[in-house]
């Protein structure tokens, strides 16, 4: 289960409740009081239509541009790390965990279109620069009824800045610990009909080594480049056209001592390049009478990596790998509003994905047609109902039906109740369907389910499989082999219920907001590795099968308090329980054992000793203090983020989390930042991340220790207001 679900808030303020009111980086930006009153913020991810954040009946968090700037964030992971219930996890890249579900179950969107490139399930958050982000919307709980596969845990939608009238631009430079440098620039130009915006970013670091004696860098030196733009043109008052695109390039070099196939230790030099490109033309039209609104989209994306390995001493070839994925999707969506209180959404599309990689026999293709519908109805001023369903018809596995129903009821002017129930799913990926890999050093093999039977038969014909001494037959686990041949999508039935409390306080200088959300995810058909045969060398042949059933459940609380004199305080907390149902059942029946490390005797594991799924923290919280002095052009913040202890690996060979030595201890991060306007165009910021210099080299590779930084920002084309 640790591999299946490797290592995120309720209804929040427009500029993110979990971080408190957003305090601007320069004078003239919204003060805490202004921020708390902006309750008409429009979000789109939760319902695929524009809807006021206060009216959305499902848990949604919004992180705005000003908060991102005030944090001093550089990449998407920096933004998400400080939000209530969101945990960063490292597994083939920096991913995010939502409601106890791993990064492969969270759909990442860029302006409503999916980012691709999950080479091992995780889409690395460090690929996304934040310098041109308008806001980040986070929908918690399954969103497959609107967005399809990979939205089992939720959706993170990164919404970039749209072109605005006028001519303006900005320059930003930052330098910090580990020779980390970030340079960004934006340019916006536009009139009444035609507008465009451009964004460029260079991000580099000398990397760091948490264990220098090993001779291996924890994060090697790298340099990445992002170019992004959007062009909009009004064909008429009712018809708009936009074209957006993005290109990302990262280069990385390193070297490390490596045990070669010959059994010798050699220093191997590593060089990699990663590119990510997407293009998205969109046409919208509002029909006469304003009851119909239609959107036609075409999205194309290509992700490519290449890795070259050579002997450092003389440059001889050692190994090389590559991975290339493409994604193409046309889609049409129509929104119909017969009355202001009703919106019917209908959409249909088709998507085509291909993958070519070193570990695949040939270029692989997956296609799927889909359709979705949603009805948003407000029968009374107090009640809002949203129901929807989506059907996906893929070419490689069974069709998927994903329904969802949500409701919000304004019980009192200061109290709103809400709840939702829905199904999410995650389709088997290319790796689980088509992988063809045999480890040349250890000797094991892993085959995707679409070819495992043919590969096992081939190994048997070649005499590579072990045989049963009693029968002389090849050792093949036929039950597991049969299950591997009928792989289906993972799924979840999820429920979220909670309330929003906003009491009216005696003074206008004070305001308070509390959100509470309880959740439960029941997961079925989770995909895990399975042994299907045994080789003569003693190693196994692996594939994948649907076996595991699990659940995650918990409670999230968020509080925001605005105080006089420019102060604001916020705090958030998540309680999480995540367990494998089969383990719970076996524990209740007294069928799980372990060896006592002192007496070496076998003993039965009690149900209360089971810690649940690996890499999940039972407790996590954050607390933040913000300050702003508009007359002095000064802002400051101190933010604390705590993640409780979590299971890392099985240490007593019974495959479950049940011993203290199997946990990573909890840790606290303290971040601080302050900014000052130096004139009408210029502002400066300085900050410290991980103030206490906490590191854990054995278990946590994403924490590099104490990080200092300083930056300068220059606004061009318009004066700071």
Q: What is the mean pLDDT of each successive set of 10 residues along the chain, which is 721 residues long?
A: 32 28 30 39 78 80 87 91 87 84 90 87 87 92 89 92 94 96 96 95 93 81 96 96 97 83 80 96 94 96 94 88 95 95 96 92 92 96 95 88 96 95 91 81 80 88 87 84 81 95 86 94 88 84 87 94 91 96 93 85 91 93 92 92 91 87 93 93 96 89 92 78 38
> What is the structure's pLDDT at 34?
37
Count of C-beta atoms within a 10 Å radius of residue 412: 11
> What is the structure's pLDDT at 30?
36
The terminus-to-terminus CA distance of the chain in angstroms comes to 53
Which tokens hold the place of 109? 């969107």
State the Cα–Cα distance between residues 159 and 109, nearest whole angstrom: 8
The region, left, alpha or beta by phi > 0 then psi within -120 to 50, assigned to residue 590 is: left
> What is the structure's pLDDT at 234?
96
Cβ neighbours of residue 4 closer than 8 Å, sequence gap 6 or more: 102, 526, 527, 528, 548
DSSP-derived 3-state class of residue 125:
helix
Instruction: Please name every residue paired with 154 in a beta bridge, in sequence order, or none if there are none.
Output: 106, 140
State the Cα–Cα distance between residues 669 and 87, nearest whole angstrom: 13
Instruction: Please name every residue paired with 537 in a beta bridge, in sequence order, or none if there are none.
Output: none
Which tokens hold the place of 311? 């002997």
Q: Which of 106, 148, 117, 49 is nearest to 349 (CA)?
A: 148
The region, left, alpha or beta by phi > 0 then psi within -120 to 50, assigned to residue 431 is: alpha
Which tokens hold the place of 476? 């093949």
Which tokens hold the place of 691? 């103030």
Q: How far is CA 228 from CA 62, 132, 247, 324, in A?
A: 22, 9, 6, 21
Sign of CA dihedral 62, 66, 72, 76: positive
> What is the structure's pLDDT at 61?
86
> What is the structure's pLDDT at 18?
30
> What is the structure's pLDDT at 397?
79
> What is the structure's pLDDT at 595?
85
The region, left, alpha or beta by phi > 0 then psi within -120 to 50, assigned to residue 449 is: alpha
**CATH 2.40.170.20 fits domain 17-205+221-716:** yes
Instruction: Please name every residue paired with 64 in a beta bridge, in sequence order, or none if there are none.
Output: 135
* Dihedral, CA of residue 129, residue 17, residue 499 and residue 616, to nearest 10: 50
Residues found in the chain: 721
Chain CA centroid to CA 405, Å: 24
Exposed, middle or buried: residue 40 (CB in 10 Å: 0-12, 13-18, 19+)?
A: exposed
Give strand ranges (E) for 591-645: 593-595, 602-604, 619-629, 634-643
**Residues 295/282, Cβ–Cβ less than 8 Å:** yes
State the Cα–Cα distance between residues 135 and 132, nearest whole angstrom: 9
């Amino acid at each position: 289960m640790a591999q299946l679900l490797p290592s995120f808030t309720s209804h929040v303020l427009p500029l993110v409740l979990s971080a408190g009111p957003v305090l601007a980086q320069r004078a003239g930006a919204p003060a805490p009081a202004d921020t708390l009153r902006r309750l008409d913020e429009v979000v789109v991810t939760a319902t695929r239509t524009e809807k006021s954040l206060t009216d959305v009946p499902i848990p949604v968090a919004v992180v705005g541009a000003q908060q991102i700037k005030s944090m001093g964030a550089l990449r998407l992971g920096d933004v998400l790390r400080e939000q209530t219930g969101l945990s960063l996890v490292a597994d083939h890249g920096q991913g995010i965990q939502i409601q106890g579900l791993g990064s492969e179950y969270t759909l990442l969107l860029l302006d409503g279109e999916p980012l691709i490139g999950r080479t091992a399930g995780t889409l690395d958050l460090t690929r996304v620069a934040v310098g041109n982000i308008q806001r980040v919307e986070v929908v918690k709980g399954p969103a497959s009824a609107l967005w399809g596969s990979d939205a089992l845990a939720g959706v993170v939608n990164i919404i970039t800045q749209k072109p605005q009238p006028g001519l303006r631009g900005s320059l930003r430079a930052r330098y910090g610990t580990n020779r980390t440098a970030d340079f960004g620039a934006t340019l916006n130009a536009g009139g009444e009909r035609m507008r465009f915006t451009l964004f460029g970013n260079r991000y580099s670091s000398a990397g760091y080594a948490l264990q220098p004696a090993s001779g291996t860098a924890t994060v090697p030196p790298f340099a990445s480049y992002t170019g992004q733009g959007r062009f909009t043109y009004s064909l008429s008052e009712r018809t708009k056209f936009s074209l957006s695109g993005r290109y990302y390039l990262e280069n990385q070099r390193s070297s490390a001592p490596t045990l070669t196939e010959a059994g010798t230790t050699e220093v191997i030099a590593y060089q990699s390049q990663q590119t990510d490109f997407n293009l998205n033309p969109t046409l919208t039209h509002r029909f006469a009478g304003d009851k119909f609104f239609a959107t036609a989209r075409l999205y194309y994306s290509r992700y490519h990596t290449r890795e070259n390995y050579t002997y450092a001493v003389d440059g001889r070839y050692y190994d090389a790998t590559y991975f290339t994925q493409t994604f193409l999707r046309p889609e049409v969506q129509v929104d119909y509003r017969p009355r202001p209180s009703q919106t019917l959404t209908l959409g249909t599309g088709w998507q085509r994905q291909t993958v070519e990689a070193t570990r695949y026999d040939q270029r692989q293709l997956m296609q799927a047609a889909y359709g979705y519908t949603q009805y948003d109805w407000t029968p009374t001023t107090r009640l809002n109902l949203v129901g929807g369903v989506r059907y996906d018809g893929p070419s490689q596995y069974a069709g998927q039906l994903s329904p969802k129903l949500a409701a919000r009821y304004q019980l009192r002017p200061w109290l709103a109740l809400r709840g939702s129930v829905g199904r999410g799913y995650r389709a088997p990926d290319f790796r689980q369907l088509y992988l063809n890999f045999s480890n040349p050093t250890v000797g094991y093999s892993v085959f995707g389910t679409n070819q495992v039977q043919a590969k096992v038969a081939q190994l048997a014909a070649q005499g590579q499989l072990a045989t049963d001494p009693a029968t002389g037959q090849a050792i093949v686990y036929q039950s597991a082999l049969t299950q591997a041949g009928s792989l289906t999508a993972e799924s979840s039935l999820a429920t979220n219920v909670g309330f929003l409390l906003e009491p009216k306080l005696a003074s206008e200088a004070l305001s308070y907001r509390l959100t509470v959300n309880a959740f439960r995810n029941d997961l079925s058909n989770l995909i895990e590795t399975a042994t299907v045969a045994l080789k003569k060398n003693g190693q196994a042949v692996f594939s994948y099968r649907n076996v595991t059933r699990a659940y995650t459940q918990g409670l999230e609380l968020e509080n925001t308090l605005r105080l006089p004199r420019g102060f604001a305080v916020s705090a958030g907390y998540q309680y999480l329980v995540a367990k494998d149902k089969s383990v719970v059942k076996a524990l209740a029946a007294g069928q799980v054992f372990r060896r006592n490390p002192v007496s070496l005797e076998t003993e039965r594991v009690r149900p209360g000793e089971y810690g649940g799924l690996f890499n999940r923290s039972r407790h996590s919280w954050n607390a933040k203090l913000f300050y702003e002095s508009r007359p002095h052009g000064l802002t400051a913040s101190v933010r604390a983020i705590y993640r409780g202890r979590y299971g890392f690996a099985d240490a007593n060979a019974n495959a479950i989390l049940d011993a203290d030595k199997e946990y990573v201890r909890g840790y606290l991060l303290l971040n601080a930042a302050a900014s000052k306007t130096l004139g009408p165009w210029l502002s400066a910021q300085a900050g410290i991340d991980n103030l206490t210099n906490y590191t854990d080299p054995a278990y946590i590779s994403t924490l590099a220790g104490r990080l200092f930084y300083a930056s300068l920002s220059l606004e061009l084309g318009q004066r700071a207001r």
